[in-house]
Amino acid sequence: MVNDRLIQTEYSEIMQKSYIDYAMSVIVARALPDVRDGLKPVQRRTLYDMYELGIRYDKPYRKSARIVGDTMGKYHPHGDSSIYGALVVLAQDFKMGLPLVDGHGNFGSIEGDGAAAMRYTEARLKKITQEVYLQDLDKDVVNFLPNFDETEKEPEVLPVRVPNLLVNGAEGIAVGMATSIPTHNLGEVIDGVIAYMKNPDMSTEEMMEYIPGPDFPTGGIVTNKDDLKQIYSTGVGKIKLRGKVEIEKIKGGKQAIVITEIPYTMIGANIGKFLNDIYSLVETHKTNDITDISNMSSKEGIRIVVELKKGADAENVCNLLYKKTRLEDTFGVNMLAVCDGRPETLGVVPMIRHHVNFQFELATKKYTTLLKKEQDKKEIQEGLIKACDVIDLIIEILRGSKNVKDAKDCLINGNVDAIHFKSAQSREDAKQLHFTENQATAILEMRLHRLIGLEIEALKKEFDETVKNIQTYTDILENRSSMAKVIMKDLQSIKKEFATPRKTVIDNVAEAVVEEKPIEEEDVVVLLDKFAYARVIDKATYDRNKEAADSESKKIIFCKNLDKLGVFTSQGQMHLIKVLDLPMGKFRDKGIPIDNVSNYDTRKEDVLLIEALQNMKDKKILFATAAGMVKVVDGGLFDVSKRTTAATKLAEDDLVLRVGIVEEGDNVVMYSKNQYFLRIDAADIPEKKKAAVGVRGIRLEEGDSLKGVCILKPGDNPTVKVKSKSVQLGRLHVSPRDTKGVKK
């Protein structure tokens, strides 16, 4: 019956359980590193696969595609891009404190260039990865689990002998949580581990005598040294980073700011953004001291040169870069890792405690395995030495045996029934033999050259060495202090071979203070083309190119560089643009769209007027809508600071048709779609507030709407084409407001 196989349950419970299962899978099996080896599953599987494929540091490179395909097929069935991405990061010395993969080919750059496709690049393990991360896998030191299809075995964790979680840091986004751990100096971390093993009760402050702070591969300066104690205690906080700059003298008596190290957070696309931010500071006149920027970075290191004009205050420009660009940035710390199968936020001391416990666990398994091997070896060696003393008897047994089984039975149990002996004494001596099964097997497999005197001496020497090893391993396993000495000695040898000098400076640095020089006011001209691109030129440039500017520009505004422009739109809004936000340059520069520097929406609004707010003071601004409503507003009311403000109130489904400045003696002509024309004196239009709808300017028939509005200056006589006729607006008679007008 189908009903017998149906399980009825609450749908919300199924959703909740499924989501929790998914979240925990992402947290534990993908996004977060394990506290023991400091690796995410994809990193661990990639390194183990390279180890299994024999791609060692002293062997030739192998194609990355081979590594990725093998890892995906055996251990990590989540797509090749995630595996190759992990492989690339493991090889990047500007991301990893201690790169674990030796990459050959294009593995990306610090400036954000991506790595070449996996079919072009090659890789192999680094020496430290092989000797410190993978070395003891053959000694049963970690548990092996079935892979996704149970056809292979993979290690639960790698037997990493240094706190990789601190050395290489980690970044990962899981479900509802994220980890962000900075990189640290290998030598300092090893010193911290040894100090902890000598004093497990040490405080965070004591630990920081050995691990003073993060050490990023890009160098730079940590500026909030005093905050590190709190961060390392709780595992959460913000590290403030600065790039390293030098002031150099260049030709012409000028100076240049040379950036030789960048904050770790700037690597990748943020270097390009940093350069663009400097360009913006120049374009928006935040500084006039920068004359040129050039990125001279190469494989040898970072070198970004910011040239300053003669007499510029280099210190002040540096502070400006710290404040306004990513030359000073924040690294958010959240030291989250998987501990005992669940995510946990750890301070530095607990993190090292977990590592040390893991090292004792590894050492216990390692020396248990080694002790067993030595004990087995001792058993064999004892048997061979004993056999050498009675070799004549053993040869007689072998010659008198019909098969190996009988000879072996005699060696182990002294059973002589099936053996033919030359003498009764030999038979009696053979009955006394009691070799173990392993010893008997070794004796039967022994070659005759082992009977040479020197070989026997070497065997006894090996036996003494084996006994000594057994004593050593037993002492290590039975005494925690002995095991601790071995672990510390191992760490010191790793430090001696692989540690590198610290790159990041740690200090308390005062916050950057920028002395902003007031911008000098000057006359400028804003040019707006038909595509709503705006640019600013100085008055002298306009005078030299007046004819071209007048013919090519849709709108020309004479104003001050400190002015603001009001953009009046068909939706009754006014958007503010600071003239300083518009690029100032040469006459033929392209400019930028005005919607880039304001809230103006090109999809919903039409621009009706752009004017400098200073030019509108003491002026009357006319508003006319499609419904025939008109009003004038004092221009001084628009001198506001909000980026967008309501310029007029509109009735439902109404639109502003015309916004313009009217002066004494001006007339206003309105004409409708049904060809009604009305010319009124601008003085007849009442002055209202911004929030008012206005009054009726022309009385429209039902279904008719205003088509256009013209402001006539004295003596003007523009022509408007209506169907096949042309109407000269200057020849219309002036009529009262709120009348129907004349039909043409």
Domain ranges of the chain: 17-181, 244-326, 360-498, 617-743
Token pair for 718: 């523009």
Confidence at 206, pLDDT banded by 50, 70, 90:
very high
Q: Give the pTM.
A: 0.74
Strands 221-222 vs 505-506: parallel, antiparallel or unpaired: parallel
* Catalytic annotation present for 120: yes
Q: For 23, what's the count of Cα atoms within 13 Å in the CB-facing half-sphere?
A: 12
Q: What is the CATH number of domain 617-743?
A: 2.120.10.90
Rounded Cα distance between 552 and 591, Å, is 13
pLDDT in tens, 166-196: 999 999 887 778 899 999 999 999 999 999 9
- Which residues, other chains included, contact 440 with Cβ-Cβ below 8 Å and sequence gap of 6+? 383, 408, 411, 412
Rounded Cα distance between 132 and 112, Å, is 30
Q: What is the CATH T-level fold of the domain 360-498, as seen in this structure?
A: Topoisomerase; domain 3 (1.10.268)
Token pair for 490: 């191992």
Q: Is the pLDDT of residue 530 over 50?
A: yes
Rounded Cα distance between 552 and 528, Å, is 9
Q: For 109, what's the count of Cα atoms within 13 Å in the CB-facing half-sphere?
A: 13
Residue 345 · residue 354 · CB < 8 Å: no
Lowest mean pLDDT among 12-26, 29-43, 70-84, 362-376: 12-26
Q: Does domain 244-326 have CATH number 3.40.1690.10?
A: no
Looking at residue 236, its pLDDT comes to 95
- Which residues, other chains included, contact 503 with Cβ-Cβ below 8 Å and sequence gap of 6+? 185, 215, 216, 217, 218, 219, 261
Burial 574-584 (b: 16+ CB within 10 A, else e): bbbbebbbbbb
Other residues' Cβ atoms within 10 Å of the Cβ of residue 458:
12
Looking at residue 255, its pLDDT comes to 92
Q: What is the CATH number of domain 17-181?
A: 3.90.199.10
Q: Is 58 exposed, middle or buried (0-12, 13-18, 19+ CB in 10 A)?
A: exposed
Q: Is the pLDDT of residue 456 over 60?
A: yes
pLDDT in tens, 52-80: 999 999 999 999 999 999 999 999 998 89
Lowest mean pLDDT among 19-33, 55-69, 494-508: 19-33
Q: What is the mean pLDDT of residues 710-736?
A: 88
Set 120, 196, 367, 676: catalytic member: 120
Lowest mean pLDDT among 8-22, 217-231, 459-473: 8-22
